[in-house]
Structure 1
Amino acid sequence: MIPLITHTPRLLLLAASRALLTAELHKPQYFPVLLGAALPADWPPGHHNREAMTYFLEQLTAGGRTAAGWYGWYALRKAEGDVPRTLIGAGGFMGPPDAAGLAEIEFSVAAGWRGQGLGTELVAGLLQQAAATGMVLQLVAHTTAADLPAQHVLAGNGFEPEGTTPDGRLRFERAVVPAADAALGAAGA
């Protein structure tokens, strides 16, 4: 089974569920209660729009338990001092990896939380999740030429530019070492 929660130093990454996505789309007053976190005023950010939420919900509904963890993820800033646990961004996979182990990720951070390294940490958490599945061997991400912060986040996580797509977006790729292989390599060192 794929882990549905991942921790980074400042973030808790939580896999989207049908209940969370349904609340986010149709009962937004219940969404923060189910999530157990405060919401930023400008939610949802960037790529995490109604279209993405609807897609994730459709995929989770069609795929059942085997789809869990392969679509949207919520990035929650851990509570610290007087600051409560807060939803700061979203990201995730666009589905399970293909037969060659290739999966695509996307990420967005709410405007008030940008510039603090949280996007870099969010992508690092998604890399950790990809490795933990043991199924992902390569990750791809896309961004626009104008989105320099996203390019910086990807580069900071070891992604390399690999050209452009037919629609003009930049393509970035990165190899993933499955967690079991990494553990075997460390044990043999």
Structure 2
Amino acid sequence: MNQLIVTTKNLQLIACTLEIAQAEKNDKSKFSKLLDASIPNTWPPEFNNEEMVLFIINKLQKAPEESGWWSWYFLLKDRVTDASILIGFGGFKGKPTSDGIVEIGYSILPEFQNLGYGTEAIKGLVSWAFTHPEVQQVIAETLPELKASQRVLEKSHFTYIGQGSEEGIIRYQLSRNHQMNLGTAN
């Protein structure tokens, strides 16, 4: 399977494959080599624990062709040295539903937060999702107290819609039509 890569202004977003996920779990040196990036000592970011990695491994063992609909790694490229450093991860909670909805999530290492990289990564992943005609809407859920996460979604043109899937969770959405209108307005 070909490697899925999305390039933004400052980042390279690399879709997780089974090989990469297994390396993240078992062999940090191979993980670094597969991403062609240095891995900070502070890795992993919040929400990317061993349980999450095992979940992704399980999903990709069953359906390796779904790479891209699960985790992505966010690499920051140094423009002078061309070296990359792993700064975060995100992705989707699986393929689009029958009504064209995908849910996105993300996490950036603390030392790279509040620099616009989360917003840049989310915009890149949303653009990738909307290249698939079956995707009509991207949703995201967060906690009311995570103001920085909400700001990332708002800067990425998501709209707050209220209660999420569980008590105490809030939901944002971005529709294909809204995304297309943004593209023609710029």
Q: TM-score scaled to structure 2, two decimals? A: 0.90
| Structure 1 residue 54, shift from structure 2 partner | 1.3
Q: Mapping of 1:152-167 within 5 angstroms?
A: 152-165=151-164, 166-167=166-167
Separation in 2, partners of 1:135, 1:42: 37
Separation in 1, partners of 2:45, 2:176: 27
CA contact (8 A) 2:5 2:13 kept: yes
RMSD, matched Cα: 2.2
Q: Counterpart of 1:84?
A: 83
Q: Counterpart of 1:142?
A: 141
Q: Mapping of 1:98-177 within 5 angstroms?
A: 98-165=97-164, 166-177=166-177
3-state SS of paired residue (2:14): strand
3-state SS of paired residue (2:37): coil
Q: Counterpart of 2:20?
A: 20
Q: Report runs of 4+ in structure 1 exceeding 3 Å deviation.
A: none
Q: Counterpart of 2:59?
A: 59
Separation in 2, partners of 1:89, 1:103: 20
Q: Counterpart of 1:68?
A: 67
Q: Counterpart of 1:7?
A: 7
**Stretch deviating more after TM superposition (80-89 or 113-122):** 80-89
| Gapped regions of structure 2 (runs ≥ 5) | none
CA contact (8 A) 2:3 2:14 kept: no
CA contact (8 A) 1:130 1:178 kept: no
Q: TM-score scaled to structure 1, two decimals? A: 0.88
Q: Deviations over 1:67-110 (max 9, x none)?
A: 12110001111222247211111000110000110000100001
Q: Deviations over 1:92-139 (max 9, x none)?
A: 011000011000010000111111100000100111111112221101
Separation in 2, partners of 1:6, 1:90: 13
3-state SS of paired residue (1:41): coil
CA contact (8 A) 1:138 1:173 kept: yes
| Gapped regions of structure 1 (runs ≥ 5) | none
Separation in 1, partners of 2:25, 2:97: 28
Q: Which amino acid aligns with 2:92?
A: F
3-state SS of paired residue (1:133): coil
Q: Which amino acid aligns with 1:136?
A: V
3-state SS of paired residue (2:43): coil
CA contact (8 A) 1:71 1:93 kept: yes
